[in-house]
Structure 1
């Protein structure tokens, strides 16, 4: 048996940030949806979705909030427990960032111009 889940490392511009659990990366950046004709013909349309990494991060006192909320050319790297490494280039924080003071965490989603598995 081999490990497929567990310890994950995340770096943002080389600085390691600690995750508390969930991390998500896309396996594909194109999505196909069915287009079904009244004559029962089946085709598909293809749409692009932005590469991303999202997770729940621990927020210590030295957490790089200013960088995360303002930078738009970051490089994010997720080293997953199964040995896969996902790299997100020219990344920025997508959506809102809120701090959960009770848990000491923030749910963050980074989108980028390119994302790929090494």
Structure 2
């Protein structure tokens, strides 16, 4: 029997639905490990994030998304995995692309949890 591992992704920003067209990326860990010698490593905290490409829908509250500094971004993958980013705010320089009608967003936040 086959298992679904990819497919339609759903994203909600503060309860509003975004139509995702491209990839969605969420980190699997909240730390980065690096070996310093065989059997010894150091850990560095990573900032939780969500990156996605969505349709530039006229109903998408772009001003609200850009101004928010304490959002909740929930991503549901096609295989049923769910990632919730809280305390989220947009980083970088998102821009609306006229050629394909999309926007690339990246949020950083205070806590990211796989459910």
* TM-score when normalising by structure 1: 0.92
In the aligned structure 1, how far is the partner of 2:96 from the partner of 2:22?
16
Superposition pairs for residues 37-116 of structure 1, below 5 Å? 41-116=38-113
Largest Rg, 1 or 2:
1
Aligned pairs, number: 114
In the aligned structure 1, how far is the partner of 2:16 from the partner of 2:56?
14
Q: 1:112 offset after TM fit, Å?
A: 0.8
Unmatched tracts of structure 1, length 5 or more: none
Superposition pairs for residues 2-17 of structure 1, below 5 Å? 2-17=3-18
Runs of 4+ in 1 over 6 A off after TM superposition: none
* TM-score when normalising by structure 2: 0.94
Q: Secondary structure at the match of 2:80?
A: coil
Report what 2:31 is aligned to.
30
The CA RMSD measured in Å over matched residues stands at 1.1
Unmatched tracts of structure 2, length 5 or more: none
In the aligned structure 2, how far is the partner of 1:85 from the partner of 1:97?
24
